[in-house]
C-alpha cells in the first residue's frame, strides 16, 4: 500500500512539474480564432516560450518575481494564451499583432501597423455548420504580417462598427496588442475589456493541436460522428 501511494505521489509530482515548466493543455471555447482554431479544439501551450511569470504557476500563485524570468520576446504572429488583464483569472487566446511601441489601427477592415496597411489576399470561403444540416460561408483571407508570417483570417464585412474602423492604438512598453483571427467576432485589444496585454500576463505560446471534436469531448458515444481527426497533432500557424 505504501509503495502504491508513493508511486501515485511521484506521478502527480511529475505531471505538475510538466504542467508548470513545459506544456499545459487548453481547449477552445469560442469562435474568436476561426479559421485557425475551432470550438472543440484541444491544444498544448509551451510554458517556456516566453519565460515564466506568476501566471505560469497553478492559480497564479505569487511565488515568482514581478514581470518575467528567462524572458523571451513574443514574435508578431504568435498565437498565445494570456490572462485577461482586467481580472487576471480568465484565459484568452489571441494572435500577437502589436509589439511595444507599435501603432495599430484598423481602417475599412484592413489592419495597419505603424501607418502601413498589412497585405491580405482573398482565398476560398470558410464554410461552417451553424445548425444541423445548415451551412454558412464567411470571407477568408491570407494576411501577411510585416515580418513575413502568414495566417488565415475570417472577415464578414469591412464595415463592422467598432472593429473595422478604429482609432490608433500606441502599444505601451512591456505590453502587446492581441487580435482574434475572426476579426468581426473577437473581443480583443481593440476593446476596453481587453486592451493592451502586459507581458507578465502571458501563459505561453500555442504550439499544436492534439484533439478536436465538433461537440463535447466527454460524450464519448458521439465521437464516431463528431471527431475531427484531420486536425489531430497539427501545428498552429
Return the CATH architecture of domain 2-70+77-231: Ribbon (2.10)
Identify the residue whose cell numbers are 451551412.
135
Q: Where are the domains of the chain?
A: 2-70+77-231
In the set 32, 163, 189, 195, the catalytic residue is 32
**pTM to 2 decimals?**
0.86
pLDDT tens, the chain, 237 aa long: 444 333 333 333 333 444 444 679 999 999 999 999 999 999 999 999 999 888 777 655 565 667 788 789 999 999 999 999 998 889 999 999 999 999 999 999 999 999 999 999 999 999 987 767 788 899 999 999 999 999 999 999 998 888 999 999 999 999 999 999 999 999 999 999 999 999 999 999 999 999 999 888 778 887 888 899 999 999 999
Residue among 3, 8, 25, 33 at smallest CA distance from 209: 25
Contact, 119 vs 142, CB < 8 A? no
State the cell numbers at 87.
481580472
Please tell me which residue in 47, 53, 94, 186 is annotated as part of the active site: 94
Give catalytic status of residue 94 as yes or no.
Answer: yes
Within 13 Å, how many C-alpha atoms sit on residue 43's CB side? 26
Q: 3-state class of 199 per DSSP? A: helix
47 annotated active-site: no
Beta-ladder partners of 216 = none
Place of cell 502599444: 171
Amino acid at each position: 500500500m505504501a509503495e502504491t501511494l508513493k508511486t501515485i505521489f511521484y506521478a502527480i509530482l511529475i505531471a505538475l512539474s510538466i504542467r508548470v515548466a513545459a506544456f499545459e493543455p487548453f481547449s477552445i471555447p469560442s469562435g474568436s480564432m476561426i479559421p485557425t482554431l475551432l470550438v472543440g479544439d484541444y491544444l498544448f501551450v509551451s510554458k517556456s516560450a516566453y519565460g515564466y511569470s506568476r501566471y505560469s504557476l497553478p492559480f497564479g500563485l505569487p511565488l515568482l518575481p514581478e514581470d518575467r524570468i528567462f524572458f523571451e520576446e513574443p514574435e508578431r504572429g504568435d498565437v498565445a494564451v494570456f490572462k485577461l488583464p482586467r481580472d487576471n483569472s480568465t484565459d484568452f487566446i489571441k494572435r500577437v499583432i502589436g509589439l511595444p511601441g507599435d501603432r495599430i489601427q484598423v481602417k475599412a477592415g484592413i489592419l495597419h501597423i505603424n501607418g502601413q496597411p498589412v497585405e491580405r489576399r482573398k482565398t476560398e470561403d470558410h464554410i461552417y455548420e451553424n445548425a444541423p444540416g445548415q451551412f454558412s460561408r464567411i470571407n477568408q483571407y491570407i494576411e501577411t504580417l510585416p515580418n513575413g508570417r502568414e495566417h488565415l483570417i475570417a472577415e464578414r464585412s469591412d464595415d463592422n462598427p467598432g472593429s473595422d474602423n478604429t482609432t490608433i492604438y500606441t502599444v505601451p512598453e512591456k505590453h502587446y496588442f492581441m487580435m482574434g483571427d475572426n476579426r468581426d467576432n473577437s473581443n480583443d485589444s481593440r476593446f476596453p475589456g481587453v486592451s493592451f496585454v502586459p507581458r507578465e500576463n502571458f501563459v505561453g505560446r500555442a504550439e499544436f493541436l492534439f484533439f478536436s471534436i465538433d461537440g463535447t469531448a466527454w460524450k464519448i458515444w458521439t465521437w464516431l460522428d463528431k471527431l475531427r481527426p484531420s486536425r489531430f497533432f497539427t501545428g498552429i500557424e
